[in-house]
Amino acid sequence: MFLSKNRLAYFYVFLGAALWGVIGLFIDRLAQADFSALQIVTLRVVSASAMLMMFVGFKDAKLLKIDLKDSMSFIGTGIFSIVFFNWAYFTAIEEVSLSIAVILLYTGPAFVIILSRIFFGEPMTGRKVGALVLTLLGCVLVIKVFPITADRLSWYGLLVGLGSGFGYAFYSIFGKHALQKYHPLTVITYTFVFASIVMLPTSGITIEIKQLASVDVWLQILGLGFFPTALAYYLYTVGLSMVESGRASIAATVEPLVATLLGVWIFNDVLTSFQIIGMLFVLSAVVLVQFRGRVKADLKQY
């Protein structure tokens, strides 16, 4: 029973991370429609918030009830994580490069492991550390960070990039805390509600009517809000409720693999040998981070 639940948890995390990996498809189409990066993030958050509120309201309105004293958890997932890490991530892209910004973002699992140790007492095992090293090396190879030239480096960019990883980690930490009391649907709904409250008035979004005149644009906005956002976060949050935060965050690093493979399939990108090795590193890390739980589960059978 334990083994089945463990596998199901990682399945949810993998599927959620895989959906995060398809976000490029929607961003590319909206960028072609002259939406800025900040506008796209705002549309993503607001559309997800609206869909989740309507869905949960129809499904079970009781899930929308929260204690005001618990708002800090949703401020953490929505503002400290979603809003902050998106700002830091896009700033890092401008200061350094997309590939380096992605790697800095994926320092998130390291922060999750450290913070989970502090707040939840989750053990910092050798397997976790080994999986983390494999993950970082794998992402470096998959995203093709090297060679790094001097003009691609900026201390401010590196610092903000690490900040994006820290903000990315906050979702797993605050989300894990909120899940001790609330349903995953409640957690993600209020995550995007709080994020929307901040982003709408502060993003400076100025969308011309003609940008919203296309049916295709609306389909892209709805697709962006649903697949790599509402559904992806729901699946990841369900998985997070069943396994340790550190393990879930490491398993979620399959996202850049999916994005890279999508680039090969959709945009005819060519995989290099280093990228293939990097993918194997990440997949090895994902297997490694699950291994201990499986051994314990097997021992419980006897």
Tokens of 273: 């040998």
pTM, to two decimals:
0.87
| Residues near 266 by beta carbon (within 8 Å), at least 6 away in sequence | 25
| pLDDT value of residue 188 | 98
Per DSSP, the chain holds a count of helices (H) and strands (E) of: 15, 0
pLDDT of residue 240: 96
Instruction: List the domain boundaries for the chain.
Output: 2-299
**How confident is the model at residue 39, as a pLDDT?**
87
Residue 122 corresponds to which tokens in the numbers above? 């989750």
Report helix angle 232-240 to 155-179, nearest 10.
60
Identify the pLDDT of residue 28. Answer: 87
Helix-strand-coil split of the chain, %, nearest 5: 85, 0, 15
Residue 148 has what pLDDT? Answer: 56
**Contact present, 236 and 229 (Cβ < 8 Å):** no
- HSE at residue 295, side-chain half, CA atoms within 13 A, is 7
Start-to-end Cα distance in the chain? 13
Q: What are phi and psi of 242, to 5 degrees?
A: -110, -15
* Residue 271: count of CB within 10 angstroms of its CB: 14
Q: Which helix (H) or strand (E) holds 47?
A: helix 37-60
Q: pLDDT tens digits for the chain (302 residues)? A: 444 677 899 999 999 999 998 988 898 899 898 888 888 899 999 999 999 999 999 999 999 999 999 999 999 999 999 999 989 988 888 887 777 778 888 889 999 999 999 999 998 888 888 988 998 888 888 877 655 555 556 788 889 989 999 999 999 999 999 999 999 999 999 999 999 999 988 877 766 667 788 899 999 999 999 999 999 999 999 999 999 999 999 999 888 888 888 888 887 778 888 888 988 888 888 888 776 544 444 334 33
